[in-house]
Structures are given as C-alpha cells and as structure tokens.
Amino acid sequence: MRSFKKILPYVICLLASLLIIKGLDLALYPCTYTRNDVHTISTEQKDVIILGTSNGKMNLDPDIMLEGTGLTGHNLCAGGQYPIDSYYLARLTIEKQNPKLIILEVDPSYYMEEKEPGNNYLLFYHEFPISRTKLSYFWDALKNMDFRSLLFPFYEYELSYEISHIGSNLSQKLKGEYDPDRLRNEIQMYHENGFIEKFPVDPHKLPVYDPELFYEEKLLPENMAYIDRLIRTCQEEGIDIIAVSTPLPGATLKRYEENYLAAWKYFGEYFNERNVPFYNFNREYFKAFSHDAEVFVDYDGHMNGDGARAFSRVFGQIVWGAQRQQ
C-alpha cells in the first residue's frame, strides 16, 4: 500500500504526459491524404482497393475505372508506399471490410530500395485505427525506430510548417472532418475516392528524375517477401488480386530500356508463377495506351488528370472485359 502511494504520483504524471503528447500530435501532425484514405477504408465498404506507389495514386481513378461495373473502389496508393506498407494496408482493409479485388500497382524501383525509417512509415502507421493490424505493423516496422516515431510522429515535419497548420489540424481532427478540398493545392487535387489529379504542365518541360534502375540482383528479399505475403493473404481470404504497371513515358522506357525489359521479364514471371494476372502497360499492353509526353506531368510516369482518367477507362475496360470473358 505504501509502495502504491509512492508510485501513484508517477502514474498520474505519466498519464498527464501522454495526454500532452497526444495534444501535441493533434496540433502538430498534419492532416494528410492518407488520413482520408485510411478513414475511408476503415469506415466504408469498397469492392476494389488499389495499392501501390505515387504512379498508382495519380494514374488510377477508381470511379472512372469501375464505371458501369456496379463496383465501388478506393485508391490507397501513396508515394513512398513500399511492399510492407501495401501488405499492412491490405490487412487493415481485410480486417475492416470485405473487398472483392485488390489491384497492386507495380513500380520496380520500390522493390530494390530499403525503406528508410521515419516519415514514410508514419504516413501510414499514424493513420491506422487501433487494431490487430496496427500492432503487427508496429512490431514489423516501428519497433526498432527511435522513440520519436511512437511518441512524437510530427518530428519529421518542419516546425514552421507544423506551427502554421495548428489551427486547421486541430479543427479537422477534433471535428472529425475529412474534406478533400483542404488537400487541394496549386499542383494537384485530391478526390474522395483516393485518386490524386495532377494539373497539366507544359509537355516540353517535364521534370526528369533519376529512377532507381532495376537489377534483379539488387532486389531486396524482404520487399519480395511482403508481396508474397500480400498475395497469400488475398488467396487465403478469397480476394482476387491483380497487378498493374501503369504506362511510362516513351522517352523514359527508351532511355532505360535494358533495365525496364529486365524488370518486366522478372515481374511477369513472378506474378505468373503465383497465378496473379499482371497487366503490364509497358510490355503486353503497351499499345493499349499512349506513352506520349502530353499525358504526363514528369518523366517518372505520373499522368495529368485527363491522361489518368483516359487510362483508367482503358484499364477498366481491359480488366473487367477479361473477367467477363473468364
């Protein structure tokens, strides 16, 4: 009893500290589009879930893609989404609802790089509701990260940015607001279905990035292991899974031809062995959609809004046409 009396002030102080920490998180951690995405899939039933990288986020509009099918969908892709994140996002989706199909957008560069600790994990983990999946995700991805990731996830954002958004963060989080208009800026617009529409740019001035080139020997086994787990989980849960590689600009494909050919060969065989249909718009379905610069906003393969909508329509016709044939 005496011991308990001694410990009680510490317990109270610990709880008060946790409360302050939670307050700081509410005020300083920005409201990202992933917050909206995770909220949607945790609260609304969707038939089709799209996972993958920024190329998937900006090139696949679920509403256009699923037009006339009677299905609903949500784009859960995000820049910096590695296989581990795709796997846990899929698990969260399965834990919260019953999707019929998962579409995995494939960008070969993400399979060779080790995911850096920090922001990219927190982008997803932070928004996960308390769940078994969140616990597993923590154990797999965050347990060895420094304590800031758990207690102060806002640490990866610039302080001046955080301070300027305190009011808006607090009001959105406390009121439970998920207004997509707040996520609009001068270069892009977030849609309620998770699709990000990029505004067109001058096709003669597309920015060039140096992609992480594909070499089979550089593939990280842990990345591939998470894709294996994702496929297995879908198959065990009776959820269809398909993979897609969205069109890349012709100039990019030409410049790194050897690496991309090797990548398509590898992933083609990989998905084939696992009975996962792979819709590769840079090889088998190359001619199905334009690879001209006019469709893109950069040489990395991110499309502008019109291009993305046109591609989503083509993709939808190919996939659902194929399924109907089956």
Nearer to other proteins, 118 or 180 (CB): 118
CA distance 277 to 319: 10
Nearer to other proteins, 142 or 288 (CB): 142
Q: Minimum distance from CB of 185 to other proteins (Å)?
A: 18
**Segment near other proteins (CB under 8 A), from 8-16, 164-172, 177-185, 281-289?**
8-16
Nearer to other proteins, 63 or 212 (CB): 212
Our finding on whether 272 is near other proteins (CB under 8 A) is: no
Is 185 in contact with 154 (CB distance < 8 Å)? no
According to CB under 8 A, which one of 67, 95, 156, 237 is a site residue for other proteins? Answer: 156
Nearer to other proteins, 155 or 178 (CB): 155
Q: Give Dmax (Cα) for the chain.
A: 78
| Residue 94, C-beta contacts closer than 8 angstroms, at least 6 positions apart | 233, 237, 239
Pairing between strand 188-190 and 196-198?
antiparallel
* Distant-in-sequence contacts of 173-176, Cβ < 8 A, 24+ apart: 173/26, 173/31, 174/26
According to CB under 8 A, which one of 144, 185, 275, 326 is a site residue for other proteins? Answer: 144
| Residue 166, C-beta contacts closer than 8 angstroms, at least 6 positions apart | 27, 28
According to CB under 8 A, which one of 70, 114, 143, 221 is a site residue for other proteins? Answer: 143
Query: Of 311, 262, 259, whose CA–CA distance to 286 is shortest?
Result: 311
Q: Hunting for tokens 């269809």 — which residue is that?
A: 240
At 158 the three-state DSSP class reads: coil
Instruction: Give the bridge partners for 245, in sequence order.
Output: 280
Our finding on whether 158 is near other proteins (CB under 8 A) is: yes
**Segment near other proteins (CB under 8 A), from 140-148, 172-180, 186-194, 223-231?**
140-148
Our finding on whether 145 is near other proteins (CB under 8 A) is: yes
CA distance 213 to 258: 10
At 116 the three-state DSSP class reads: coil
Our finding on whether 116 is near other proteins (CB under 8 A) is: yes
Instruction: Give the bridge partners for 296, in sequence order.
Output: 303
Our finding on whether 135 is near other proteins (CB under 8 A) is: no
Q: Minimum distance from CB of 7 to other proteins (Å)?
A: 6
Q: Minimum distance from CB of 211 to other proteins (Å)?
A: 19
Sign of CA dihedral 18, 23, 25, 26: positive
Our finding on whether 19 is near other proteins (CB under 8 A) is: no
DSSP 142: I
Our finding on whether 138 is near other proteins (CB under 8 A) is: yes
According to CB under 8 A, which one of 13, 135, 187, 322 is a site residue for other proteins? Answer: 13
Our finding on whether 224 is near other proteins (CB under 8 A) is: no
Is 78 in contact with 37 (CB distance < 8 Å)? yes
User: Binding string to other proteins for residues 159 to 198, with x set by CB under 8 A, is what?
Assistant: x---------------------------------------
Our finding on whether 112 is near other proteins (CB under 8 A) is: no
Our finding on whether 118 is near other proteins (CB under 8 A) is: yes
Our finding on whether 7 is near other proteins (CB under 8 A) is: yes
Is 178 in contact with 166 (CB distance < 8 Å)? no
According to CB under 8 A, which one of 152, 178, 256, 285 is a site residue for other proteins? Answer: 152
Residues that bind other proteins (CB under 8 A): 3, 6-7, 9-10, 13-14, 16-17, 20, 24, 116-119, 138, 142-152, 154-156, 158-159
